[in-house]
Amino acid sequence: MEKLTDMPNIGSVLAEMLQQADIKSAKDLKNVGSEQAFIRIAAIDNSVCLCKLYALEGAVQNKRWHSLSPAKKEELKQFFHQLSKKK
């Protein structure tokens, strides 16, 4: 089982947040997806930001978040803003 910290963008702090959100491995994160993982983290930490969502998506895609396509970044940005409106 691949560790979360073996994935791009996932350091020890984000890995701990994912584990608290019941995402224990790289496989779990890929199965859940970045958006649902972000929702789970946001439920336990209200200081989450757009960059954390980018980091999760980059990890799912196995790349640094800076390399996400502009279209994917825009899609995630819209998702983030929709969640922010619900708070």
Residues comprising the chain, all counted = 87
Which residue has 């994912």 as its token pair? 18
Instruction: Assign residue 76 the CATH number of its domain.
Output: 1.10.150.20
**pLDDT at site 1:** 56
Give residue 8's domain range. 4-86
pLDDT of residue 87: 59
* DSSP letter, residue 67: G
Number of compact structural domains in the chain: 1
The distance in angstroms from the start CA to the end CA of the chain is 35
pTM of the model: 0.94
pLDDT tens digits for range 41-83: 999 998 899 999 999 999 999 999 999 999 999 999 999 999 8
